[in-house]
Chain A
């Protein structure tokens, strides 16, 4: 199958530091591709490159085979790339519904209308309701996000990514800071929706990674040290070394 998103030789240099170096990967619809690696490996930077939050120093990004390198984050979003952030990046002083409304509305060409009331466009509310049901936030729809628990805020983060109806889902440590129950729920959610998206998942929770991932890329110091299917990664000596002897073989 043709890959929905593809990175070719992506490199990002910050002053004096190459955070991502010559990374290539691709992901198809229905596939969850996990990117793992120790702290500072460059995973978030890679996600930021793919989402247009950062511009690559060199390398290419392709969506549906089309070269979209250099597009900003708003363009990327419109091209069908949705993302969540490692550190919650949501609207704390707005309610859960208002958060999602903004995301859902971006897919309708109504955002420049400044005279009609929002109530004249019920399609936004409908979309919001659907997303909130999916991630399981129905009970707190009208609560301010700043009043939610940390885990719930993480769910809002994922809801925003889903609400833009993306083809590609970039998830940067979606489970970080969640309780066991909430984690399970999100893993379940990802499992149930995997067929609709090409998912690139950055995650430290190895149980979740091996439960979900179809393919993996392992990064260390900005470079890909191993890539392949889960069994190969588990048995890779290089990966074990990178994780300083952490036990991977169950």
Chain B
């Protein structure tokens, strides 16, 4: 695809997204907000799967636990400062990511897949079986965090448009951040690890350290999306950390095309739209989703982004 054409397309898309709340119905604003949140989550997973070559099946642990941090710490009756609450969630989840990462990164390949899945499920059982986090019902967030600019302007996250714009801004920031990371000296090492970890080690890099930093960054970005999801739904429950949430995100990564910045945007939007259609069509929509996933993984392993560049298809 031509670069100018691509940029024009992106600009047009952005303008449409900015104008959506002006013209769109409430349902659509909320639905697009959901997609935006998911894009952040899938992008963070793509940082691991697509850019570093780490196939994690437990990434939802960070998505869900971020919501739990918000739910557990937000006081009842008053609304927390949005930025304080977001920062707290991101930092707590970053710490969790460091602990989980330090453990699972000691393994490789299929072991890594199993270990991430198992550690994620450990968190699931922890939240599900103990009373302090509301057990299987989860916790309601009664007072959403907000932001007050000199008593002059109030960001109210129960307002769908306000929430939508917050999500839109965060998506743009996250995508820019990931682009920057991949274009940095650190990103260079990360690509090296993905393509050939053995040689990268032999060139003097302590690859474990780099993977750990990347894992923590990915968990913190996932925390942003989990935070937004908790705010949007006003409730958190153990399913948010469960492995089906991780698997779902993994489907979007590969559907969009792993290892590109915009792949997650494409993959997430497509799958969520398709699932929405399936859900209207039948009660057993998961069957159709499953078939789509199998077919995509078998026949289009480079995803939708790969379709535009047939040359790239041979390379894995």
A residues touching B (Cβ–Cβ < 8 Å)? 51, 53, 72-74, 77-78, 83, 89-94, 98, 101-103, 105-108, 110-118, 121, 124, 146, 160, 164
Q: Give the contact stretch, choosing among B148-156, B182-190, B219-227.
A: B182-190
User: Given known contacts A102-B189, A117-B183, is B196 in contact with A89 (CB within 8 Å)?
Assistant: yes
Asked if residues B186 and A94 are in contact (CB atoms below 8 Å), the reply is no
* CB interface residues, B 168-224, toward A, < 8 Å: 180-181, 183-189, 191-192, 195-196, 198-207, 210, 213, 217
Q: How far is the CB of B221 from chain A (nearest CB, A)?
A: 12
Closest to B177 in A: A115
| Contacts A74-B207, A78-B204, A94-B191; A113 near B185 (Cβ below 8 A) | yes
* Residue in contact with A83 in the complex, picked from B187, B202, B315, CB distance below 8 Å: B202
B205, A111: Cβ atoms under 8 Å? yes
For chains A and B in complex, what number of residue pairs have CB atoms within 8 angstroms? 94
Knowing that A94-B191, A107-B204, A118-B188 are A-B contacts, what are 9 other residue pairs whose CB atoms are under 8 Å apart, sorted by A's residue number?
A77-B203, A93-B315, A105-B185, A110-B185, A111-B185, A112-B210, A113-B184, A114-B213, A115-B181
Interface residues on B, range: 20 to 34
**Chain A binding surface SS class:** loop
Q: How far is the CA of A112 from the CA of B192 in the complex (A)?
A: 14
In the bound assembly, the distance between CA atoms of A73 and B36 in angstroms comes to: 43
Kindly list chain A residues whose C-beta atoms are within 8 Å of the C-beta of B213. Answer: 112, 114
Q: Indicate if the CB atoms of A114 and B199 lie closer than 8 Å.
A: no
- A92-B195, A117-B180 known; A112 and B202 CB under 8 Å? no
A160 to B198, CA, bound (A): 13
With A89-B196, A94-B195, A111-B185 known as contacts, the answer to whether A74 contacts B315 (CB < 8 A) is no
Q: Which chain A residues lie closer than 8 Å to B191 at the CB level?
A: 94, 98, 102
B contact residues around A164 at 8 Å (CB): 203-204
Alpha-carbon gap, A53 to B206, bound state (A): 13
Q: Which residue of chain B lies nearest to A92 when distances are taken between CB atoms in the complex? A: B195
- Enumerate chain B residues within 8 angstroms of A124, measured Cβ to Cβ: 185
Cβ contact of B217, chosen from A73, A105, A114, A118, cutoff 8 A: A114
Q: Distance (Å) between the CB of A128 and the closest chain B CB?
A: 11
